[in-house]
């Protein structure tokens, strides 16, 4: 099944887990910007070296570099019939850039899925994960700050996509299988089924 989609949701909402499951069901690649960055840096590509300069200073990689990496990844053969983007776009400017990238190939997004989750439940989930995985830097203040940054910068994209008629909201609370089924049902209602 062909589908071009974006997955939104706060940290701890289960995006990574659900992205992998949905992409597998639809036989499309799950593309995470974190993975793209790591692959470009590890491969010492021109874009990877540029990104590393910023990352080494603890700065955000500029949109120009991020956009170029995403465009390069979307041009790969496995993304020809569709993809699931996780972690991109993060800003309104990137929304426009993604639209332009796709339009250049006569394509457009099919759907944007926002996984919603209650703040306190997400904080609890991330603190538990930090404890289990020994992530000492994932303290409650850090987690709450990440959620605030998400609310400020990325959550407005949901409103933007809702205005374009592309947004589907799915409750991210509950068991992993339960959430996967909710997403599958929401996609099926849009004519996208595995």
Catalytic residues: 15, 90, 129, 135, 146
Binding site annotation covers 13?
yes
Binding site annotation covers 38?
yes
Judge if the upstream peptide bond of residue 89 is cis by omega within 30 degrees of 0: yes
Per the CB < 8 A criterion, the answer to whether 184 and 194 are in contact is yes
Query: Tokens in use for 194?
Result: 């595995």
Query: Tokens in use for 100?
Result: 């332009």
* β-sheet bridge partners, residue 111: 5
Strands (E), the chain: 3-8, 30-32, 82-86, 111-116, 167-171
Binding site annotation covers 174?
yes
Binding site annotation covers 15?
yes
Report CA Rg, the chain: 17
Binding site annotation covers 16?
yes
Binding site annotation covers 89?
yes
Binding site annotation covers 57?
no
Residue ranges for the known binding site for AMP are: 33, 38, 59-61, 87-90, 94, 135, 146
Residue ranges for the known binding site are: 12-17, 33, 38, 59-61, 87-90, 94, 129, 135, 146, 174
């Amino acid at each position: 099944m062909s589908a071009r989609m974006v997955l939104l949701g706060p940290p701890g909402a289960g995006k990574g887990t659900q992205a992998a499951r949905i992409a597998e069901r639809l036989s499309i690649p799950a593309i995470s910007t974190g993975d793209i960055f790591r692959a470009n840096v590890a491969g010492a590509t021109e874009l990877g070296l540029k990104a590393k300069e910023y990352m080494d200073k603890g700065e955000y990689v500029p949109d120009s570099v991020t956009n170029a990496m995403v465009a390069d990844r979307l041009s790969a053969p496995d993304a020809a019939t569709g993809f699931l983007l996780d972690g991109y776009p993060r800003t309104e400017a990137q929304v426009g850039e993604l639209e332009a990238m796709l339009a250049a190939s006569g394509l457009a997004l099919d759907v944007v899925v926002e996984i919603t989750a209650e703040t306190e439940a997400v904080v609890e989930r991330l603190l538990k994960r930090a404890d289990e995985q020994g992530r000492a830097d994932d303290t409650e203040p850090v987690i709450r700050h990440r959620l605030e940054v998400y609310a400020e910068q990325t959550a407005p994209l949901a409103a933007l996509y809702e205005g374009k008629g592309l947004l589907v909201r799915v409750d991210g609370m509950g068991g992993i299988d339960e959430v996967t089924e909710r997403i599958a049902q929401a996609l099926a209602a849009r004519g996208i089924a595995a």
